[in-house]
Amino acid sequence: MSQAACTVEVSDLIKAFRVNGQPLRVLDGVNLRADRGTFVTLIGPSGCGKSTLLNIVAGLQHPDQGQILFDGVATGDRLGRVGLMPQRDLLLPWRTVLGNALLGPELHGEDPEAARRDALSLLPLFGLQGFADSYPAALSGGMRQRAALLRTFLCRQGVLLLDEPFGALDALSRSGLQEWLLRVWQQFGYTVLFITHDVEEALFLSDRVYVLTERPARVCLELDVPLSRPRERAITLLPEFALLKQQVLAALAGTCPDETGRPR
Ligand SMILES: Nc1ncnc2c1ncn2[C@@H]1O[C@H](COP(=O)(O)OP(=O)(O)OP(=O)(O)O)[C@@H](O)[C@H]1O
Ligand SMILES: [Mg+2]
Q: DSSP string spanning 89-129?
A: ----TTS-HHHHHTHHHHHTT--HHHHHHHHHHHTTTTT-T
Return d(Cα 97, Cα 164) in angstroms, integer: 20
Given this model, what pLDDT does residue 2 score? 63
Kind of pairing, strands 83-85 and 159-163?
parallel
pLDDT at 68 over 70: yes
Domain assignment present for 246:
yes
Domain enclosing residue 214, as ranges: 1-82+161-168+194-264
Say if CB 51 and CB 163 are below 8 A apart. Answer: yes
Query: Residue 153: pLDDT band by 50, 70, 90 thresholds?
Result: confident
Span 22-27, mean pLDDT? Answer: 96
pLDDT at 257 over 60: no
Q: Is the CB of 17 under 6 A from ligand 1?
A: yes
Residue whose Cα lies nearest atom 24 of ligand 1: it is 46
pLDDT at 264 over 50: no
pLDDT at 261 over 60: no
Q: Is the CB of 30 under 6 A from ligand 1?
A: no
Which atom of ligand 1 lies at the shortest distance from residue 18's CA?
Answer: 4
Q: How many angstroms separate the alpha carbon of residue 47 from the centre of ligand 1?
A: 5
Q: How many angstroms separate the alpha carbon of residue 43 from the centre of ligand 1?
A: 14
Given this model, what pLDDT does residue 256 score? 53
Return d(Cα 206, Cα 3) in angstroms, integer: 22
Domain assignment present for 33:
yes
Mean pLDDT of all residues belonging to the chain: 90
Which atom of ligand 1 lies at the shortest distance from residue 44's CA?
Answer: 21
Residue 223 belongs to domain with CATH number: 3.40.50.300
Count structural domains, the chain: 1
Q: Is the CB of 54 under 6 A from ligand 1?
A: no
Interhelix angle 171-188/141-153, nearest 10 degrees: 20
Say if CB 99 and CB 134 are below 8 A apart. Answer: no
pLDDT at 195 over 60: yes
Task: Identify the bridge partners of residue 32 per DSSP, sorted by sequence position.
Answer: 10
Domain assignment present for 261:
yes
Its pTM stands at 0.90
Residue whose Cα lies nearest atom 1 of ligand 1: it is 17
pLDDT at 87 over 90: no
pLDDT at 90 over 90: no
Any idea which of 33-37, 42-46, 109-113, 192-196 has the lowest mean pLDDT?
A: 109-113
pLDDT at 130 over 90: yes
Span 57-73, mean pLDDT? Answer: 94
Given this model, what pLDDT does residue 218 score? 95
Domain assignment present for 150:
no
Q: Is the CB of 52 under 6 A from ligand 1?
A: yes
Domain assignment present for 238:
yes
